[in-house]
């Protein structure tokens, strides 16, 4: 089995910065297109399981990230494609397992680019609002530091403040508490 390790960083954006970056990337990056997703997150103490309906691509997957946001920039990920018609069944299946009561549902509007070897997703969701994700996928943790340095260099070039692990932990805790409160 091939190992897929995502080295990823996030940053929150004002709408004006999001719009500026969209214009910049439209003219300076390889456009990978719209990539809207309807996602159910099953948040566990040490990992994350997702049922992902890739709305724009018309496919779906069951995804497990073997660590959580705020525990470093590297996320080993296991992805299993599922039939699009099985999304609701997958959500029901995971919910019925009672592995967590911390389940979030989010629709993400996103547009993907490749800029100087870094995959960039400009995103909007009700939970995160406007934000950016910068990512490089590697097959070996020994390539992590080089990927992190490259992402940070691109973020600096774009004028994007990347969130620290502590900021991510605090942000996601606040989001989870308010999301659970609203249920």
Would you call 22 helix, strand, or coil by DSSP? helix
Give the pTM: 0.90
Architecture of the structural domain at 5-182: Beta Barrel (2.40)
CA distance 41 to 107: 11
- Could you tell me where the DSSP H helices lie in the chain? 15-28, 87-96, 144-158, 165-182
5-14, 21-30, 157-166, 172-181: least confident range:
172-181
The pLDDT tens digits of the residues spanning 41-91 come to 999 988 999 999 999 999 999 999 888 877 777 888 899 999 999 999 999
120-134 confidence digits (pLDDT tens): 999 999 989 999 999
What is the structure's pLDDT at 17? Answer: 98
| Cβ-based burial of 175 (10 A; exposed 0-12, middle 13-18, buried ≥19) | middle
Would you say residue 111 has pLDDT above 80? yes
What was the pLDDT predicted at 64?
94
């Amino acid at each position: 089995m091939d190992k897929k390790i995502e080295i990823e960083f996030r940053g929150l954006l004002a709408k004006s910065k999001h719009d500026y970056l969209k214009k910049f990337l439209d003219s300076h990056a390889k456009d990978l297109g719209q990539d809207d997703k309807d996602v159910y997150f099953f948040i566990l103490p040490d990992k994350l399981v997702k049922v992902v309906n890739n709305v724009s691509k018309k496919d779906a997957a069951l995804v497990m990230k073997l660590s959580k946001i705020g525990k470093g920039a590297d996320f080993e990920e296991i992805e299993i494609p599922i039939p699009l018609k099985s999304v609701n069944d997958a959500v029901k299946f995971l919910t019925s397992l009672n592995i967590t009561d911390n389940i979030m549902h989010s629709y993400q509007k996103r547009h993907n680019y490749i800029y100087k070897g870094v995959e960039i997703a400009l995103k909007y969701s009700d939970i995160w609002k406007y934000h950016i994700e910068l990512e490089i996928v590697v097959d070996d943790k020994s390539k992590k530091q080089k990927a992190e340095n490259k992402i940070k260099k691109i973020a600096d070039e774009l004028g994007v403040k990347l969130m620290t692990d502590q900021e991510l932990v605090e942000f996601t805790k606040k989001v989870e508490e308010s999301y659970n409160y609203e249920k």
